[in-house]
Chains A and B, each alone.
Chain A
Amino acid sequence: MYSEKVMDHFSNPRNVGELENADAIGEVGNATCGDIMRIYLKIDNNIITDVSFKTFGCGAAIATSSMATELIKGKSIEEALELTNKAVVEALDGLPPQKIHCSVLAEEAVKKAIANYYDKMGIEHDIMKGCDGCCDHCHHHHNED
């Protein structure tokens, strides 16, 4: 059901672990939903010099986290903010429909980390406003009645 790229990023995740002295941390999702992503950023001169992640979740959650970190490493904050879930899906050669929400989480984890950085720096922003961390409210559609 997964592409080779997804299986590769799941089996050999890039940038996994905690970054010591991270400049910013962003976490989205919750355990009840079955996935949590946490992204750590090192930022120097507006450039993401290092990035890592920790994820609780399915194969797609781990693979999208890994891919998202790869896609923003070395990029400017502005470039990282432009990362879309679609770009993550494309870079992974596609995801099954019921796993698309994992790519949304990956995009949001990056944005949340940058929001955290802006907050620390006292820079005003409107990233992830209104997100209470419960994925249920946005993109989880329960099909049970």
Chain B
Amino acid sequence: MNKKIYADNAATTPVLPEVVDAMLPYFTDNWGNPSSLYSVGNRAKTALEDARGRIAAQLGCEANEIYFTSCGTEADNWAIKGTAHAKQAKGKHIVCSAYEHHAVTHTMKSLKKDGFEITYVKPTPEGIITPDAIKEAIREDTILVCVMYANNEIGTINPIKQIAEITRERKITFFSDGVQAVGHIPVNVKELGVDMLSLSGHKFNAPKGVGALYIRRGLRVDTFMDGGGQERNKRGGTENLPYIIGMAKALELAAERFTENDKLTALRNRLAEGLSKIPYSRVNGSLEHRLPGNINVAFEFVEGESLLLLLDANGICASTGSACSSTSLEPSHVLLSIGVPVEVAHGSLRFSLSHDNTDEDVDYILETVPKVVERLRMMSPLYDAAERK
């Protein structure tokens, strides 16, 4: 099988050659430690601050509001634990959406053990967290609200700006996990009004192992990693300069392609329409408020891991919310949160297209998926029962 269609860009993306080119000199030529006082260090420091400024420019904030981390998960952990610990004298209640990434939900679990109380806010059946639902969950002792910008499984985009208006009025810290959004749609943190926002390089063609956290100037957040005073004493550890340079370059290149988002949305919609023609299928989440490349469809009577294996055999890379693809036996908490029945959630597929996917790719996916679904249904005892009804 020579054909290879990569449609799992929400999982990770390849590092672009231009990004590699931008990084290479920082391994072999400008390799100094930004904290060193001599000239080699100064050159590294200048490059580091240049990258910080460029990322800040893309996000619409000041350079000194960007803090580099090792990944999106670290940024999420920092934002949440850093706020919880800094503000616990004021209260120990946190409002969090019910369909966050595990980097957020598992951090909440860990805070629960430390005596914090978490209220989980369910999304609508369309996969949106409404400002009203957040307003209802907020209490006198709420110190933090967490709502992701775009969901990683169903790609739905939340009304972050409206939620920020609520939190600002009540002086509650608002953190948004922006890992799926940054580099895919324009994100301006000042216009959104968030207090913190996380991002991850490898979701937009930078390498794995680098991320960042936007922290609004003046916001009180505890230091996450103690060390040598890097990142304005907030996050110790020598900065991963080549990767940070790569991330700045990748974010600029990603922004240049926002103009192609309408085209990508049209391609995605064609895929959604084609897949919905398969009997007993359903598109999960709003198509209107959604990342351009994401589509999530559930096929009844079949199981997601089997679908993935057969798609892979046909050269298509996708993802599933099935439990069987992970070590846990529960299917996707995201799909369950929007009301997808457990047995249907087991048969879900996520395709996340990039600007580099073509009409031919979508044709091929649309040609292959029905065959694969049909083949598994012929083996499925559940399908028999449904067909006899």
Q: What chain B residues lie within 8 Å of A33 (beta carbons)?
A: 329
- Chain B residues near A98 (CB, 8 Å)? 327
- If A55-B379, A56-B381, A58-B303 touch, does A32 touch B342 (CB 8 Å cutoff)? yes
Q: Render A64-96 as a binary contact track against B, CB cut-off 8 A, 1 for contact.
A: 000000000000000000000000000000000
Complex interface bits, B342-360 against A, C-beta within 8 A gives 1, otherwise 0: 1100100000000000000
Q: Is A36 touching B382 in the complex (CB atoms < 8 A)?
A: yes
Residues of chain B lying within 8 A (CB to CB) of residue A58 = 303-306, 322, 324-325
- Chain A, interface size category, equals 20 to 34
A139 to chain B, nearest CB (A): 10
Question: If the complex has contacts A56-B302, A59-B309, A62-B306, are A142 and B343 also in contact, measured as CB distance less than 8 A?
Answer: no
- Cβ B379 vs Cβ A34 within 8 A: no
Q: In the bound complex, how far is the Cα of B306 from the Cα of A61, in angstroms?
A: 9
Counting contact residues on chain B (CB < 8 A from A), the size range is: 20 to 34
A10: B residues at CB distance < 8 A:
306, 309
Chain B residues 344-389 with CB under 8 Å of chain A are 346, 378-384
Interface of B, secondary structure class, is: helix
Verify if A11 is at the interface (C-beta below 8 Å from B).
yes
**In the assembled complex, how far is the CB of residue B346 from the closest CB belonging to chain A, in whole angstroms?**
4
A20 within 8 A of B: no
Q: Tell me which residues across on chain A come within 8 A of B378, comparing CB atoms.
A: 16-17
Considering the chains assembled together, what is the distance between the CA atoms of A18 and B342 in angstroms? 26
Q: Is A38 an interface residue (CB 8 A)?
A: yes
Q: Which residue of B lies closest to A13 (CB)?
A: B379
> Is there a chain B Cβ closer than 8 Å to A31's Cβ?
yes
State whether A143 and B380 are in contact (beta carbons under 8 Å apart), knowing that A34-B346, A61-B303 are contacts in the complex: no
Who on chain A is nearest to B324 by CB? Answer: A58
| Residues on the A chain within 8 Å of B331, using CB | 34
CB distance from A9 to the nearest CB of B (A): 12
Q: What is the total of A-B residue contacts with beta carbons within 8 Å?
A: 81
How many whole Å from A22's CB to the nearest CB in chain B? 13
Is the CB–CB distance between B382 and A57 below 8 Å?
no
Out of A11, A31, A140, which one reaches B313, CB within 8 Å?
A: A11
Least Cβ–Cβ distance between A2 and chain B, in angstroms: 8
> B109's contact among A31, A61, A145, by CB below 8 Å, is which?
A145
B109, B303, B313, B330 pick with most chain A CB within 10 angstroms = B303
A37 to B382, CA, bound (A): 10
Instruction: Kindly list chain A residues whose C-beta atoms are within 8 Å of the C-beta of B330.
Output: 142, 144
Q: Which residues on the A side are within 8 Å of B313 (C-beta)? A: 11
Cα-based distance from A145 to B108 in the complex (angstroms): 13
Closest to B328 in A: A143
How many angstroms from the CA of A35 to the CA of B270 in the assembled complex? 32
Is A108 at the interface (CB under 8 A from chain B)? no
Note all chain A residues with C-beta closer than 8 A to B380. Answer: 36, 54-56
**Which of A7, A27, A37, A61 is most buried by chain B, counting CB atoms within 10 A of its CB?**
A61
* Bound CA–CA A17/B375 (angstroms): 11
- B243 in the interface, Cβ–Cβ < 8 Å? no
Which residues of chain A from 26 to 44 have a CB within 8 Å of any chain B CB?
Answer: 27, 31-38
B305 contacts which chain A residues (CB < 8 A)?
Answer: 58-59
Q: Are B343 and A32 in contact (CB under 8 A)?
A: yes
In chain A, what residue has the closest Cβ to B313? A11
Set of chain A residues within 8 Å of B304, measured between Cβ atoms: 58
Q: Identify the 5 closest CB pairs spanning chains A and B, nearest first.
A: A31-B343, A58-B324, A58-B305, A56-B380, A54-B381
* 20 extra interface residue pairs, beta carbon distance < 8 Å, beyond A56-B382, A58-B305: A16-B378, A31-B342, A33-B329, A34-B323, A34-B331, A35-B303, A35-B324, A54-B381, A56-B379, A56-B381, A56-B383, A57-B303, A57-B324, A58-B303, A58-B304, A58-B322, A58-B325, A98-B327, A141-B329, A144-B328
